[in-house]
Chains A and B, each alone.
Chain A
Amino acid sequence: MTFWSILPEELVFSTNNLPDSPPLYEEIQCNNIKLLVEKIGPTQCKVSRLLTTNPQDYLHPDIQPGKILTYKPIL
Protein backbone atom coordinates (compact mmCIF):
# COMPACT_ATOMS: atom_id res chain seq x y z
CA MET A 1 0.00 0.00 0.00
CA THR A 2 1.26 3.45 -0.86
CA PHE A 3 -0.08 6.16 1.32
CA TRP A 4 -0.67 9.56 -0.24
CA SER A 5 -2.39 12.14 1.92
CA ILE A 6 -2.06 15.67 3.18
CA LEU A 7 -2.39 14.39 6.73
CA PRO A 8 0.92 13.49 8.30
CA GLU A 9 1.56 9.77 8.59
CA GLU A 10 2.19 9.93 12.31
CA LEU A 11 -1.32 11.31 12.78
CA VAL A 12 -3.03 8.73 10.59
CA PHE A 13 -1.19 5.68 11.85
CA SER A 14 -0.76 6.72 15.48
CA THR A 15 -2.14 4.32 18.03
CA ASN A 16 -1.61 6.67 20.94
CA ASN A 17 -4.49 8.47 22.64
CA LEU A 18 -6.92 5.76 21.66
CA PRO A 19 -9.81 5.06 24.02
CA ASP A 20 -9.43 1.86 26.08
CA SER A 21 -12.46 0.29 24.47
CA PRO A 22 -12.93 1.74 21.00
CA PRO A 23 -16.49 1.55 19.65
CA LEU A 24 -17.31 -1.74 18.01
CA TYR A 25 -18.66 -1.22 14.52
CA GLU A 26 -20.63 -3.71 12.54
CA GLU A 27 -22.21 -3.74 9.11
CA ILE A 28 -25.81 -4.89 9.07
CA GLN A 29 -28.59 -5.11 6.55
CA CYS A 30 -31.84 -3.40 7.52
CA ASN A 31 -34.80 -3.23 5.08
CA ASN A 32 -32.34 -3.98 2.27
CA ILE A 33 -30.22 -1.02 3.26
CA LYS A 34 -26.68 -1.60 4.44
CA LEU A 35 -25.87 0.23 7.66
CA LEU A 36 -22.73 0.76 9.66
CA VAL A 37 -23.80 0.48 13.28
CA GLU A 38 -22.07 0.88 16.60
CA LYS A 39 -22.82 -1.98 18.96
CA ILE A 40 -24.02 -0.63 22.29
CA GLY A 41 -25.18 -3.84 23.91
CA PRO A 42 -25.93 -7.48 23.18
CA THR A 43 -29.27 -6.63 21.56
CA GLN A 44 -28.91 -2.98 20.64
CA CYS A 45 -26.94 -0.88 18.22
CA LYS A 46 -26.77 2.73 17.13
CA VAL A 47 -26.86 3.73 13.47
CA SER A 48 -23.59 5.39 12.55
CA ARG A 49 -23.58 5.59 8.79
CA LEU A 50 -25.66 4.46 5.84
CA LEU A 51 -23.79 2.54 3.17
CA THR A 52 -26.13 3.10 0.28
CA THR A 53 -26.00 5.16 -2.88
CA ASN A 54 -29.74 5.75 -3.10
CA PRO A 55 -30.31 9.30 -1.82
CA GLN A 56 -33.93 8.47 -0.88
CA ASP A 57 -32.71 5.93 1.69
CA TYR A 58 -31.21 8.76 3.68
CA LEU A 59 -34.68 10.21 4.31
CA HIS A 60 -35.95 7.03 5.99
CA PRO A 61 -36.89 8.10 9.55
CA ASP A 62 -36.15 4.73 11.18
CA ILE A 63 -32.52 4.53 10.17
CA GLN A 64 -31.34 8.06 10.71
CA PRO A 65 -27.80 8.16 12.13
CA GLY A 66 -28.03 8.10 15.93
CA LYS A 67 -31.17 5.96 16.02
CA ILE A 68 -31.04 2.98 18.35
CA LEU A 69 -31.98 -0.29 16.69
CA THR A 70 -32.89 -3.47 18.52
CA TYR A 71 -31.90 -6.85 17.21
CA LYS A 72 -34.78 -9.31 17.04
CA PRO A 73 -34.49 -13.03 16.42
CA ILE A 74 -35.85 -14.15 13.05
CA LEU A 75 -38.31 -16.94 13.59
Chain B
Amino acid sequence: MLENDNPTIEPPGINPENPKPPIEHTKKTVTARKTDTVDNIQELGATEIPTAKTNIHVMTIIGQVEGHMILPPQNKTTKYEHIMPQLVAIEQNSDIEGLLLLLNTVGGDVEAGLAIAEMIASMSKPSVSIVLGGGHSIGVPIAVSATYSYIVESATMTIHPIRLTGLVIGAPSSFDYLEKMQDRVNKFVVDHSNVSERKWKELLFKTGELSRDIGTSVIGRDAVSYGIINEIGGLSHAQTKLNELIKIQKETKGLKQ
Protein backbone atom coordinates (compact mmCIF):
# COMPACT_ATOMS: atom_id res chain seq x y z
CA MET B 1 0.00 0.00 0.00
CA LEU B 2 1.44 3.38 -1.00
CA GLU B 3 1.29 6.35 1.32
CA ASN B 4 -1.65 8.56 0.64
CA ASP B 5 -1.60 12.29 1.41
CA ASN B 6 -5.31 12.69 0.97
CA PRO B 7 -7.18 10.81 3.70
CA THR B 8 -10.58 11.40 2.06
CA ILE B 9 -9.90 8.90 -0.74
CA GLU B 10 -8.33 6.38 1.57
CA PRO B 11 -9.90 2.95 1.08
CA PRO B 12 -12.28 2.02 3.92
CA GLY B 13 -10.99 -0.01 6.80
CA ILE B 14 -7.49 1.51 6.85
CA ASN B 15 -6.40 3.98 9.48
CA PRO B 16 -4.90 6.96 7.61
CA GLU B 17 -2.57 7.69 10.53
CA ASN B 18 -1.14 4.21 10.55
CA PRO B 19 -0.98 2.70 7.08
CA LYS B 20 1.73 0.22 7.99
CA PRO B 21 -0.15 -2.96 8.90
CA PRO B 22 -0.95 -3.92 5.28
CA ILE B 23 2.75 -3.62 4.38
CA GLU B 24 3.69 -5.99 7.18
CA HIS B 25 1.01 -8.36 5.99
CA THR B 26 2.42 -8.60 2.44
CA LYS B 27 5.92 -9.05 3.84
CA LYS B 28 4.72 -11.96 5.90
CA THR B 29 3.23 -13.82 2.97
CA VAL B 30 6.40 -13.28 0.93
CA THR B 31 8.58 -14.76 3.66
CA ALA B 32 6.12 -17.59 4.17
CA ARG B 33 6.35 -18.46 0.50
CA LYS B 34 10.12 -18.23 0.57
CA THR B 35 10.42 -20.69 3.41
CA ASP B 36 8.10 -23.02 1.58
CA THR B 37 10.41 -22.98 -1.41
CA VAL B 38 13.48 -23.40 0.79
CA ASP B 39 11.84 -26.37 2.49
CA ASN B 40 11.11 -27.82 -0.88
CA ILE B 41 14.69 -27.51 -2.04
CA GLN B 42 15.99 -29.00 1.20
CA GLU B 43 13.52 -31.84 1.48
CA LEU B 44 12.64 -32.75 -2.07
CA GLY B 45 15.50 -31.31 -4.07
CA ALA B 46 12.93 -29.54 -6.16
CA THR B 47 12.88 -25.84 -6.90
CA GLU B 48 9.23 -25.75 -7.83
CA ILE B 49 6.40 -26.19 -5.40
CA PRO B 50 4.36 -29.18 -6.60
CA THR B 51 1.05 -27.99 -8.01
CA ALA B 52 -2.32 -29.49 -7.17
CA LYS B 53 -2.58 -33.01 -8.49
CA THR B 54 -5.68 -34.29 -10.13
CA ASN B 55 -6.74 -37.89 -10.59
CA ILE B 56 -9.18 -37.00 -13.35
CA HIS B 57 -8.00 -35.87 -16.74
CA VAL B 58 -10.16 -34.06 -19.20
CA MET B 59 -10.39 -34.32 -22.96
CA THR B 60 -12.30 -31.93 -25.18
CA ILE B 61 -13.57 -33.05 -28.56
CA ILE B 62 -14.61 -29.93 -30.38
CA GLY B 63 -15.34 -28.85 -33.93
CA GLN B 64 -14.59 -31.38 -36.64
CA VAL B 65 -12.94 -34.67 -35.82
CA GLU B 66 -9.89 -34.58 -38.06
CA GLY B 67 -8.36 -37.80 -39.28
CA HIS B 68 -6.51 -38.74 -42.41
CA MET B 69 -6.84 -35.35 -44.04
CA ILE B 70 -5.95 -31.89 -42.77
CA LEU B 71 -9.03 -29.75 -43.17
CA PRO B 72 -8.85 -26.20 -44.56
CA PRO B 73 -7.96 -23.62 -41.89
CA GLN B 74 -11.48 -22.21 -41.46
CA ASN B 75 -12.38 -25.41 -39.60
CA LYS B 76 -11.84 -25.84 -35.90
CA THR B 77 -10.71 -29.39 -35.42
CA THR B 78 -9.77 -32.06 -32.92
CA LYS B 79 -6.97 -34.12 -34.37
CA TYR B 80 -6.94 -37.83 -33.65
CA GLU B 81 -3.15 -37.93 -33.59
CA HIS B 82 -3.38 -35.75 -30.48
CA ILE B 83 -6.18 -37.69 -28.83
CA MET B 84 -4.87 -41.23 -29.33
CA PRO B 85 -1.48 -40.86 -27.56
CA GLN B 86 -3.18 -38.87 -24.80
CA LEU B 87 -5.56 -41.78 -24.25
CA VAL B 88 -2.63 -44.19 -24.10
CA ALA B 89 -0.89 -41.92 -21.57
CA ILE B 90 -4.04 -41.71 -19.43
CA GLU B 91 -4.37 -45.50 -19.49
CA GLN B 92 -0.71 -45.96 -18.49
CA ASN B 93 -0.33 -43.26 -15.85
CA SER B 94 -1.15 -44.71 -12.43
CA ASP B 95 -1.90 -41.25 -10.98
CA ILE B 96 -4.82 -40.82 -13.34
CA GLU B 97 -7.93 -42.69 -12.30
CA GLY B 98 -10.63 -41.38 -14.59
CA LEU B 99 -11.34 -39.54 -17.81
CA LEU B 100 -13.85 -36.77 -18.37
CA LEU B 101 -14.85 -36.29 -21.98
CA LEU B 102 -16.34 -32.98 -23.12
CA LEU B 103 -18.06 -33.11 -26.47
CA ASN B 104 -19.19 -30.35 -28.74
CA THR B 105 -18.60 -31.64 -32.22
CA VAL B 106 -20.23 -31.30 -35.62
CA GLY B 107 -18.90 -34.58 -36.97
CA GLY B 108 -15.95 -35.33 -39.17
CA ASP B 109 -13.88 -38.27 -40.28
CA VAL B 110 -15.79 -41.48 -39.58
CA GLU B 111 -12.74 -43.68 -39.18
CA ALA B 112 -10.90 -41.23 -36.93
CA GLY B 113 -14.03 -40.83 -34.82
CA LEU B 114 -14.56 -44.56 -34.56
CA ALA B 115 -10.91 -45.03 -33.64
CA ILE B 116 -11.25 -42.53 -30.78
CA ALA B 117 -14.52 -44.14 -29.66
CA GLU B 118 -13.02 -47.63 -29.67
CA MET B 119 -9.99 -46.42 -27.73
CA ILE B 120 -12.17 -44.85 -25.03
CA ALA B 121 -14.47 -47.88 -24.88
CA SER B 122 -11.54 -50.26 -24.44
CA MET B 123 -9.89 -48.33 -21.60
CA SER B 124 -9.70 -50.03 -18.24
CA LYS B 125 -10.20 -46.72 -16.40
CA PRO B 126 -13.69 -45.31 -16.02
CA SER B 127 -14.75 -42.49 -18.31
CA VAL B 128 -17.69 -40.12 -18.29
CA SER B 129 -18.78 -38.02 -21.24
CA ILE B 130 -20.83 -34.82 -21.31
CA VAL B 131 -22.48 -33.69 -24.52
CA LEU B 132 -22.55 -29.90 -24.49
CA GLY B 133 -24.02 -27.82 -27.26
CA GLY B 134 -23.97 -30.52 -29.88
CA GLY B 135 -22.74 -34.03 -30.45
CA HIS B 136 -23.61 -34.65 -34.05
CA SER B 137 -22.90 -37.43 -36.54
CA ILE B 138 -19.63 -39.08 -35.45
CA GLY B 139 -20.00 -37.34 -32.08
CA VAL B 140 -22.70 -39.87 -31.16
CA PRO B 141 -20.42 -42.95 -31.12
CA ILE B 142 -17.79 -40.96 -29.20
CA ALA B 143 -20.38 -39.87 -26.61
CA VAL B 144 -21.63 -43.42 -26.02
CA SER B 145 -18.13 -44.90 -25.88
CA ALA B 146 -17.63 -43.62 -22.32
CA THR B 147 -18.54 -45.80 -19.35
CA TYR B 148 -21.35 -43.40 -18.49
CA SER B 149 -22.72 -40.57 -20.59
CA TYR B 150 -24.41 -37.29 -19.76
CA ILE B 151 -26.08 -34.72 -21.92
CA VAL B 152 -27.03 -31.21 -20.89
CA GLU B 153 -30.65 -30.36 -21.48
CA SER B 154 -29.91 -27.79 -24.16
CA ALA B 155 -27.62 -30.00 -26.21
CA THR B 156 -28.67 -31.68 -29.44
CA MET B 157 -27.44 -34.72 -31.29
CA THR B 158 -28.12 -35.02 -34.99
CA ILE B 159 -28.52 -38.61 -36.04
CA HIS B 160 -28.35 -38.96 -39.79
CA PRO B 161 -26.92 -41.50 -42.22
CA ILE B 162 -23.48 -41.22 -43.74
CA ARG B 163 -24.46 -39.56 -47.00
CA LEU B 164 -24.22 -41.09 -50.41
CA THR B 165 -22.27 -38.01 -51.38
CA GLY B 166 -19.85 -38.75 -48.54
CA LEU B 167 -16.34 -38.13 -49.64
CA VAL B 168 -14.29 -41.28 -49.88
CA ILE B 169 -10.76 -40.37 -50.77
CA GLY B 170 -9.15 -42.68 -53.29
CA ALA B 171 -12.28 -44.51 -54.30
CA PRO B 172 -15.65 -43.50 -55.61
CA SER B 173 -18.15 -43.82 -52.82
CA SER B 174 -20.21 -46.84 -53.68
CA PHE B 175 -23.48 -47.42 -51.92
CA ASP B 176 -22.19 -50.74 -50.64
CA TYR B 177 -19.09 -49.21 -49.07
CA LEU B 178 -21.07 -46.53 -47.25
CA GLU B 179 -23.62 -49.03 -46.07
CA LYS B 180 -20.89 -51.15 -44.53
CA MET B 181 -19.43 -48.06 -42.88
CA GLN B 182 -22.89 -47.17 -41.59
CA ASP B 183 -23.29 -50.69 -40.20
CA ARG B 184 -20.06 -50.36 -38.23
CA VAL B 185 -21.29 -47.13 -36.68
CA ASN B 186 -24.74 -48.57 -35.96
CA LYS B 187 -23.26 -51.63 -34.30
CA PHE B 188 -20.95 -49.54 -32.13
CA VAL B 189 -23.73 -47.25 -30.92
CA VAL B 190 -26.17 -50.10 -30.24
CA ASP B 191 -23.48 -52.10 -28.40
CA HIS B 192 -22.37 -49.21 -26.20
CA SER B 193 -25.70 -47.63 -25.31
CA ASN B 194 -29.20 -48.67 -24.34
CA VAL B 195 -30.79 -47.76 -27.65
CA SER B 196 -32.33 -50.63 -29.59
CA GLU B 197 -31.21 -51.23 -33.15
CA ARG B 198 -34.76 -50.65 -34.36
CA LYS B 199 -35.08 -47.30 -32.62
CA TRP B 200 -31.63 -46.20 -33.78
CA LYS B 201 -32.42 -47.01 -37.41
CA GLU B 202 -35.77 -45.31 -37.11
CA LEU B 203 -34.05 -42.11 -35.92
CA LEU B 204 -31.39 -42.47 -38.60
CA PHE B 205 -33.73 -42.73 -41.57
CA LYS B 206 -36.58 -40.50 -40.42
CA THR B 207 -37.72 -38.05 -43.05
CA GLY B 208 -39.20 -34.60 -42.67
CA GLU B 209 -37.27 -33.33 -39.69
CA LEU B 210 -33.97 -32.15 -41.13
CA SER B 211 -34.13 -29.77 -44.05
CA ARG B 212 -31.03 -30.93 -45.88
CA ASP B 213 -30.98 -34.57 -44.98
CA ILE B 214 -32.90 -37.48 -43.60
CA GLY B 215 -32.43 -38.18 -39.91
CA THR B 216 -33.39 -36.71 -36.56
CA SER B 217 -32.23 -33.93 -34.31
CA VAL B 218 -32.44 -35.35 -30.82
CA ILE B 219 -32.55 -32.89 -27.91
CA GLY B 220 -31.13 -33.62 -24.44
CA ARG B 221 -34.07 -35.29 -22.75
CA ASP B 222 -35.06 -37.26 -25.87
CA ALA B 223 -31.54 -38.67 -26.18
CA VAL B 224 -31.96 -40.05 -22.66
CA SER B 225 -35.47 -41.42 -23.27
CA TYR B 226 -34.32 -43.19 -26.46
CA GLY B 227 -31.50 -44.77 -24.48
CA ILE B 228 -28.63 -43.24 -26.43
CA ILE B 229 -27.35 -41.27 -23.43
CA ASN B 230 -27.52 -42.46 -19.83
CA GLU B 231 -28.66 -39.33 -18.03
CA ILE B 232 -29.29 -35.60 -18.15
CA GLY B 233 -26.60 -33.70 -16.30
CA GLY B 234 -23.69 -31.32 -16.34
CA LEU B 235 -20.26 -31.02 -14.83
CA SER B 236 -21.05 -31.72 -11.18
CA HIS B 237 -23.11 -34.80 -12.07
CA ALA B 238 -20.31 -36.10 -14.26
CA GLN B 239 -17.69 -35.44 -11.61
CA THR B 240 -19.72 -37.22 -8.91
CA LYS B 241 -20.41 -40.16 -11.20
CA LEU B 242 -16.75 -40.43 -12.17
CA ASN B 243 -15.67 -40.47 -8.52
CA GLU B 244 -18.26 -43.15 -7.87
CA LEU B 245 -16.99 -45.25 -10.79
CA ILE B 246 -13.39 -44.79 -9.61
CA LYS B 247 -14.40 -46.01 -6.15
CA ILE B 248 -16.11 -49.08 -7.60
CA GLN B 249 -13.10 -49.77 -9.80
CA LYS B 250 -10.77 -49.58 -6.79
CA GLU B 251 -12.96 -51.94 -4.75
CA THR B 252 -13.21 -54.58 -7.49
CA LYS B 253 -9.46 -54.33 -8.09
CA GLY B 254 -8.86 -54.90 -4.39
CA LEU B 255 -11.02 -58.04 -4.47
CA LYS B 256 -9.17 -59.48 -7.44
CA GLN B 257 -5.76 -59.24 -5.79
Contacts and interface: CB of A to CB of B under 8 A. Distances in A.
A74 interface: no
Nearest to A2: B110
A5 B137 contact: yes
Nearest to A52: B86
Given A14-B72, A54-B57, A9 B110 contact: no
A12 B109 contact: no
Given A4-B138, A9-B165, A18-B74, A54 B54 contact: yes
B58 A55 contact: yes
Interface residues of B, number: 48
B51 interface: yes
A14 B74 contact: yes
* Majority-rule SS of A interface residues: loop
Interface string B144-186: 0000000000000010101101111100010000100100010
A7 interface: yes
Interface residues of A, number: 22
A5 B69 contact: no
B72 A53 contact: no
Nearest to B160: A6
The winner among A1, A8, A14, A56 for most chain B CB atoms within 10 A is A1
Contact of A12 (B64, B166, B173): B64
B68 A1 contact: yes
Nearest to B173: A2
A53 B73 contact: no
B46 to A, nearest CB: 14
Contacts of A4: 107-110, 113, 137-138, 162-163, 166, 185
Contacts of B173: 2
A3 B109 contact: yes
Contacts of A8: 212
B167 to A, nearest CB: 5
A23 B71 contact: no
Contacts of B168: 1-2
Contacts of A51: 82
A54 B57 CA distance: 5
